[in-house]
Structure 1
Amino acid sequence: MQYTCSVAMGPIDQLLEIARTAEEVGFDSIALPDSLFYMEKQSADYPYTPDGSRMWNEDTPWVDPLIAAGAMGAVTSTLRFYTNVMKLGSRNPLLLARQVGSVANLTGDRFGFGVGIGWAPEEFEWCGVPYAKRGKRVDEMIEVIKLVLGGGMVEFHGEFYDFDRLQMSPAPSAPVPFYVGGHTDVALKRAARVGDGWTSAMMTGEQLAETIGTINALRAEYGRVDQPFEFQAVCIDKFGVDGHRELAEAGVTDNIVIPWVFDGLGFDAPIEQKKDSLKRFADTYIHSGWQDR
């Protein structure tokens, strides 16, 4: 099982030092969250909290995850980065293809594209995109972005996007993996059908095991069960070596963690405390050899 450090909701001036330290102590990846803006009034419930409220406020810091990946990639050499997840529905696929391809090239193919739809109608409407038919539109967006990133002269004529022959150069030297987020039935089907992995929001170990089983059954239906596939998990109730072992046995391939939160620190803890948490976590889990036992 791999280990990824999430940098959600932390000060952006800490990102480069977190990346350097995470690589130094042995983390595999950094997970980069996405939020466009904070609307004062929300017209829809946030889907990943019991009461629909947001876990952040108007002053919570965010940075564009693609820009962050490029910056953090410049100060590291082996660490990978992926969006967790970028909300596609309010964006343009050709612009995203240009950005994703740039990050993949600048990081030496150390970038994975975690994608979702987006939950807030305001993010769609205020960016000039209708909220209606968002799922079908995102399906088409994924198809467009993959097509363009594949290189060469391409064209596309779909329901939502239509363009004649074009080429973006240079194409990434290796395919950019797409990790599909979401807990709904349609999201799980999307992950099984077109994804190189699935990424969760906060779930229990039992929920993760059930969802992994569902996705694997769907992958078999789509004839994709023999293809490589990642299960990236944010688990809220499996801790300690035994808990991590249970997650691995359930099929989790990538455990997304925030070590300083586990140590009782806040998202805005000082950078030296966060570095200590990264090192302590790595000693306990990454270098302890529990996976070899």
Structure 2
Amino acid sequence: MKFTLGIAMSPLDQLTALAKTAEECGFSSIALPDSLFFMETAAEKYPYTPDGSRMWNQDTPWVDPLIAATAMAAVTSDIEFYTNVLKLGSRNPLLLARQVGSVANLTGNRFGFGVGIGWAPEEFEWCGAPYERRGARVDEMIEVIKLVLDGGMVEFHGEFFDFDKLQMSPAPSKKVPFYVGGHTDPALRRAARVGDGWCSAMMKFADLVETKKKLDDLRAEYGRADEPFEMQAVCIDKFGKAGNEELAAAGITDVITVPWLFDGIPFDGDLAAKQDSLRKFAAENIA
């Protein structure tokens, strides 16, 4: 089982130092969150907290995850990066293909593309994308991005996107893995059908076990049961060495963790204290 560091809501001037320390400690990767903007009034409740409240406010720091991956890759050599997850629905697939291909090349193929739809109507509407039929639109976006990243001259004629022959060079020299996020049945079907893995938000162990079973069944239904598949999980009720062993036994391949929170250090806490937490976690779990 692998360990991934979550860096959500950390000050931007800490990110490169945290990446270097995480690599030194043996973390396999860094999970990069995505948030476009904070709307004063949200039309929908946030789906991943019990009461629907957002865990951040208008002053919480965010950075574009694709830019963050490139910046952190420049000061490291082995650790990998993946978006967890980038909201596709409000974006354009051709522009994203250009960006993802650039990040894959500039990081030396140390980048995985975690994708979701997005939960906020404002992010769609204020960026010029329709909120209606967002699931079908995102399915087509994934198809477009994969097609372009494979390289060569390609064309696409779909329901939502249409273009004649084009090529983006250079294509990544290695396939960019796609990880699909979401807890709904359509999201799990999407992950089983087109994903190289699945990303969770915050979940209890029992729910992760149930979701793993659903994904196994769906992947078998799509004839993909024997293909490699990552289970990237944020578990909120299994911790420490014993908890991690339970997660591994349940088929979780990648635990996403924020060690400093267990030590009472807030998201915007002192950098040196966070680095000490990383070293402590690594000694107790990764070593």
Using the size of structure 2 for normalisation, the TM-score is 1.00
1:131 CA displacement: 0.3
Correspondence list, 1:88-237, <5 A: 88-237=88-237
CA distance in 2, matches of 1:263, 1:167: 49
Q: Over aligned residues, Cα RMSD in angstroms? A: 0.4
Question: Separation in 2 of the partners of 1:151 and 1:195?
Answer: 19
Q: Which amino acid letter does the alignment assign opposite residue 143 of structure 1?
A: E
- For each residue in 1:117-151, what CA deviation from the matched residue of structure 2 results, as whole angstroms up to 9, or x when unmatched? 00000000000011000000000000000000000
1:14-73: CA deviation from partner (whole Å, max 9, x where unpaired): 000000000011100000000000000000011001111101000000000000000000
Paired letter, 2:81: F
Please say if 1:82 is aligned against 2:82. yes
Instruction: Tell me the alpha carbon deviations over residues 97-129 of structure 1, each in whole angstroms, 9 at most, x when there is no partner.
Output: 000000000000000000000000000000001
Segments of structure 2 that go 5 or more residues without pairing to the other structure are: none
> Partner letter of residue 68 of structure 1?
A
Q: Kindly indicate whether residue 273 of structure 2 is the aligned counterpart of residue 261 of structure 1.
A: no
Asked if residue 68 in structure 1 is aligned to residue 94 in structure 2, the reply is: no
Q: CA deviation at 1:241?
A: 1.0
Distance in 1 (alpha carbons) for counterparts of 2:95 and 2:58 = 27
- The residue correspondences of 1:272-291 to structure 2 (distance < 5 A) are 272-287=272-287
Q: Does 1:12 align with 2:17?
A: no
Deviations 1:199-255 (A, max 9, x none): 000000110011011001100000001111000000000012111111011110000
Instruction: Report the secondary structure of 1:191's partner residue.
Output: helix
Q: Distance in 1 between matches of 2:47 and 2:40?
A: 17
Give the letter for the 1:125 counterpart: E
Secondary structure of 1:10's aligned partner: coil
Query: Aligned partners of 1:230, 1:25: CA distance in 2, in Å?
Result: 22
Q: Percent identity?
A: 73
CA distance in 2, matches of 1:52, 1:247: 27
CA displacement at 1:272 relative to structure 2? 0.2
Find the residue that maps to 1:231 and give its secondary structure: strand
Code of the residue aligned with 2:224 in structure 1: it is R
Cα distance between partner residues in 2 of 1:49 and 1:25: 30
Mapping for residues 13-32 of structure 1, pairs under 5 Å = 13-32=13-32
Deviation at 1:263, TM superposition (A): 1.1
Please tell me the residue identity of whatever aligns with 2:79: L
Q: Which residue of 2 aligns with 1:290?
A: none
**Structure 1: segments with no counterpart, 5+ residues:** 288-293
Equivalent-residue separation in structure 2 for 1:127 and 1:226 (angstroms): 39
* Cα distance in 2 for residues equivalent to 1:233 and 1:129: 30
Q: Distance in 2 between matches of 1:191 and 1:35?
A: 21
Q: What's the counterpart of residue 270 of structure 2?
A: 270
CA distance in 2, matches of 1:34, 1:196: 20
Partner of 1:291: none
How far apart, in 2, do the equivalents of 1:153 and 1:239 lie?
48
Q: Which amino acid aligns with 2:92?
A: N
Residue 150 of structure 2 aligns with an amino acid whose one-letter code is: G
SS across alignment from 2:5: strand
Scaled by the length of structure 1, the TM-score of the pair is 0.98
**Aligned residues between the structures:** 287
1:131 is paired with a residue whose SS is coil
Q: Which digits, 9 at most, give the CA deviation of each residue in 1:144-173, with x for residues without a partner?
A: 000000000000000000000000000000
CA distance in 2, matches of 1:117, 1:53: 19
Distance 2:210 2:263 in 1: 28
